[in-house]
């Protein structure tokens, strides 16, 4: 059974000056333990796709099955449980609560999971150690760098041992060395724990480090390097970014 199954997913945004078609006829299946990159230029809909998968947004059409369960049929507390226990999400921005300390931020999923204070503090510090920020535990988010914020977010995403890790541009703010470290860590997680990992990126250098690349353009999947994919739409336009050009967002 696939962890993620999207059938004919569409997303129309009506809260803008004119209705915007962000996603159109998306069919995507991701199996357990896969390490996938979703790549596409800015505005392609890749972040929107990620938000749907991460249960942060609701598609306007189509069906989304998470572990075989139709998401649309789930109620608020079931969804909250999934976000808490199953999914670890790393956002592009607005990652941390500004008024809580770094360690309090990392602890948060554990608080909602009902873990007692001593245990969750220990786990949070362990996770911070994993991303090399143990000594920043009591700092406030505004006191650490953007890259460090990202790493704290990753630590938090791992708090509840999620089986699905979603990262939206996790290396966007990082230099090459730190980028590699993050991707290596994610790969290690994938190999050691069998977690399913989906990364959104615009950087092909990052994409090649994963096992599978799904290319999104204009709200549609135009390429999928997976052998399991039954449809591979290839469009004539080349991929915009060249491997040696770094785009900073």
Q: Which residues bind another protein (CB under 8 A)?
A: 51, 54-58, 76-77, 79-81, 83-85, 89, 91, 94-95, 97-100, 104, 108-109, 111-114, 156, 160
Residue 40 C-beta: closest distance to another protein, Å: 18
Radius of gyration from C-alpha coordinates of the chain = 18
Nearer Cβ to another protein (73/234): 73
Nearer Cβ to another protein (154/207): 154
Nearer Cβ to another protein (88/204): 88
Nearer Cβ to another protein (60/193): 60
Q: What is the DSSP string of 209-243?
A: TSSEEEEEETTEEEEE--TT-S-----SSPPS--T
Nearer Cβ to another protein (162/204): 162
Residue 192 C-beta: closest distance to another protein, Å: 23
Closest CA to 82 of 60, 64, 61: 64
Which H or E run contains 158?
none
Residue 59 C-beta: closest distance to another protein, Å: 11
Residue 67 C-beta: closest distance to another protein, Å: 16
Q: What is the DSSP string of 57-124?
A: S--SEEEEEETTEEGGG--HHHHHHHHHHTEEEE-SS--S-TTS-HHHHHHHHHHHTT--HHHHHHHH
Residue 106 C-beta: closest distance to another protein, Å: 10
146-157 and 117-130 are packed helices; what angle lies between their axes, rounded to 10 degrees? 130
Residue 176 C-beta: closest distance to another protein, Å: 29
SS3 label, residue 155: helix
Nearer Cβ to another protein (56/222): 56
Nearer Cβ to another protein (108/178): 108
Q: What is the DSSP string of 6-51?
A: EEEEEEEE-SSSS-EEEEEEEEEEE-TT-EEEEE--TTSSHHHHHH
Instruction: Output b/e per residue, 173-189; b: 16+ Cβ within 10 A.
Output: bbeeebbebbbebbeeb
Residue 120 C-beta: closest distance to another protein, Å: 10
């Amino acid at each position: 059974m696939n962890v993620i199954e999207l059938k004919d997913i569409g997303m129309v945004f009506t809260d803008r000056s004119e209705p915007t078609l962000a996603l159109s006829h998306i069919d995507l299946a991701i199996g357990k333990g896969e390490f996938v990159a979703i790549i596409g230029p800015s505005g392609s809909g890749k972040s929107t796709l990620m938000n749907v998968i991460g249960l942060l947004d609701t598609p306007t059409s189509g069906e989304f099955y998470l572990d075989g369960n139709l998401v649309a049929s789930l109620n608020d507390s079931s969804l909250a449980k999934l976000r808490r226990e199953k999914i670890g999400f790393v956002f592009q921005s607005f990652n941390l609560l500004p008024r809580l300390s770094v360690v309090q931020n990392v602890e948060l999923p554990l608080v909602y999971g009902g873990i007692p204070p001593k245990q969750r503090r220990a786990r949070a510090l362990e996770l911070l150690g994993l991303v090399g920020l143990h000594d920043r535990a009591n700092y406030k988010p505004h006191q650490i760098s953007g890259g460090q914020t990202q790493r704290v977010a990753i630590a938090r995403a791992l708090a509840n041992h999620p089986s699905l890790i979603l990262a939206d541009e996790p290396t966007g703010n990082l230099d090459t060395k730190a980028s590699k470290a993050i991707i290596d860590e994610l790969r290690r997680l994938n190999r050691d724990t069998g977690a399913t990992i989906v990364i959104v990126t615009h950087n092909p250098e990052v994409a090649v480090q994963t096992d599978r690349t799904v290319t999104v353009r204009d709200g549609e999947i135009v390429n999928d390097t997976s052998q399991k994919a039954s449809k591979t739409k290839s469009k004539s336009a080349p991929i915009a970014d060249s491997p040696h050009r770094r785009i900073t967002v």
